[in-house]
Structure 1
Amino acid sequence: MYNLLRVEFFKLRKNRSFWSLLFALSVLSLAYPLLYYFDHRSSGVPQITGAEFLTTFISSNSYIIKFGVAILAGIFISNEYSTGVMKTIASSGNTRGRLFTAKLIVFSVGSMAISLVFPIVSTVEVTLLSGFGQLPVESTVLFIPRAFGLTLLYTAGYAAIGALFTVILVDSGKTIGFSMIFFLMIDTIMASLSSKVAFFATLYDFSIFKLVGNIGKPLIDSGDVPALLLVPLLTFVIAGTLGMLVFRRKEIK
């Protein structure tokens, strides 16, 4: 298993598309705060501080997570089907369960790296421009590590779902397209179903698709913490297990 992880991490480090994606997100993360900076400067409005920017836009990072997972799933996993790499490693002697697990772990780590670009790069830039300021009164000193920790946790949950799509759809383009549409539309679909069927309302309330919006809350009630932690973990385990089962039975051409 250790050698499989080393191989997958090596492929991730050498994947130019992955680094291009990180670079593109970094550029966007630098450009986005500048719009606010110059707009506030020209209108005489007080500049937004690093703390204010982080607490205001950390929840918006969920879109970066969704798009990042969708694109990385296509360029890192699905692309190996079209290049023939997947067929080669599937016949290497390692069990398919171990192969999928190694890919899922490394894919999740790559997705986590993508998920941190916007909050870190943007917050650092805004802090350099106008200072860090102070966190909201209702938040605690643990807000930043908690927000980043939950970001990583929920990204892993989304990554497991993305990995499941890769073994079902195989094709890189289909994986990226379907994943993006799914992640963007699932909230609307679940909200619509929730208004008609109580079961779907409960299901949606305890899904990563809704709970991911709580990452940026300045204060989280202690009673909500268990669900906030367990839901992404269970999503990772369940989606990862389903992906492994499909991969074991998948005919790789």
Structure 2
Amino acid sequence: MYNLIRCELFKLRKSRLFLLILALVVVYSVVMSILTYSSVQYGGGSEVVQGIDMYFEQLSNYLLVAVAGSLIATTYVCGDFDNKTIQDSIACGRSRSSIIFSKSLVYFLTIFIISLIVPIISSAVISTAYGFGMQFSMASILKLTAITLITSFAYSACLSPCILLSFLSRKPVVVLAGGIFVLYLGISFLKDAARIEPAISSVLSFTPYGACDALFTLDAATGDFLKSIIVSVAFIVTILAATCMIFRKSEVK
């Protein structure tokens, strides 16, 4: 397992698509900061956006994470089926479950990286003009760190179905469509419906798609943290277990 993870990390570092996505995310962060600054300075608005506001705004940018995560899954998993890397690993005696777990761990790492880059860079740029807007203390720093890490973990859980789709269909188009149209647009539709129907809101709150919504504020309570962690872990375990069951029974050519 350890060697598989090292191999996956090496492939990730050499992946041109991943490096391109990282570069685009950095550019997006800077551009959004400049646009926000320009709208405050020259847009006639009186409200000043501080670093903490920008931080939470971009931390909650699930669309960006969903698009980037889906794109990475199309090449990171589906690409290995196309170039026979996974088939060769199985032929060499690697278990299918170890392949799934190693790829999942590294894939979740990419989600962590993508989801952290935008809020950190955007808030840093805005803070140079308007300040961060928060008194820094050990407690506030620890809480902000916890919010960030748990939200990133929840995003990993939200996009874990991309792993299932990748091993199930092995087609980039299906994974990309599932990540964007189902995991983003579908969930967005349900969240809009949840404002009208409490039952939908209750169901969503027990999934990572709804559990992390309570974290986008410094007023988040300890219970919100624990709920998001438990829900995300349960969701990931369920998705990976389903992936293992399906992949074990599937034929690999």
For residues 199-228 of structure 1, the C-alpha deviation after alignment (integer angstroms, 9 at most, x for no partner) is x55422211111222221221234434312
| Structure 2 match to 1:228 | 228
| Structure 2 match to 1:132 | 132
For residues 152-175 of structure 1, the C-alpha deviation after alignment (integer angstroms, 9 at most, x for no partner) is 211221242211111112111221
For residues 168-208 of structure 1, the C-alpha deviation after alignment (integer angstroms, 9 at most, x for no partner) is 1211122112221111213424765997795x554222111
| Structure 1 match to 2:74 | 74
| Structure 2 match to 1:50 | 51
Q: Would you say how many aligned residue pairs link Structure 1 and Structure 2?
A: 249
> Shift of residue 239 of structure 1?
0.8
Q: Which runs of 4+ in 1 moved over 6 A?
A: 193-197
Q: 1:107 to 1:141 in 2, by over 3 A?
A: closer
> Shift of residue 56 of structure 1?
3.9
Q: 1:193 to 1:218 in 2, by over 3 A?
A: closer
* Percent identity between the two aligned chains: 20
Judge conservation of contact 1:52–1:135 (CA < 8 Å) in 2.
no
For residues 91-149 of structure 1, the C-alpha deviation after alignment (integer angstroms, 9 at most, x for no partner) is 1211111111111111111121111111111111112233323269xx94434202211
- Give secondary structure in 2 for the equivalent of 1:142: helix
Q: 1:37 to 1:202 in 2, by over 3 A?
A: closer
| Structure 1 match to 2:240 | 240
CA distance in 2, matches of 1:19, 1:211: 30
CA distance in 2, matches of 1:2, 1:233: 21
| Structure 1 match to 2:218 | 218
Please say if 1:25 is aligned against 2:25: yes
Partner amino acid for 1:188? F
The runs of 5 or more residues in structure 1 that have no matched partner are none
Q: What TM-score, normalized by structure 2, do the two folds share? A: 0.88
- Give secondary structure in 2 for the equivalent of 1:133: coil
- CA RMSD across the alignment: 2.5
| Structure 2 match to 1:185 | 186
Higher relative contact order (CA 8 A, sep 6+): 1
Q: What TM-score, normalized by structure 1, do the two folds share? A: 0.88
CA distance in 2, matches of 1:178, 1:105: 20
Please say if 1:12 is aligned against 2:12: yes
CA distance in 2, matches of 1:217, 1:247: 39
Q: 1:134 to 1:188 in 2, by over 3 A?
A: same
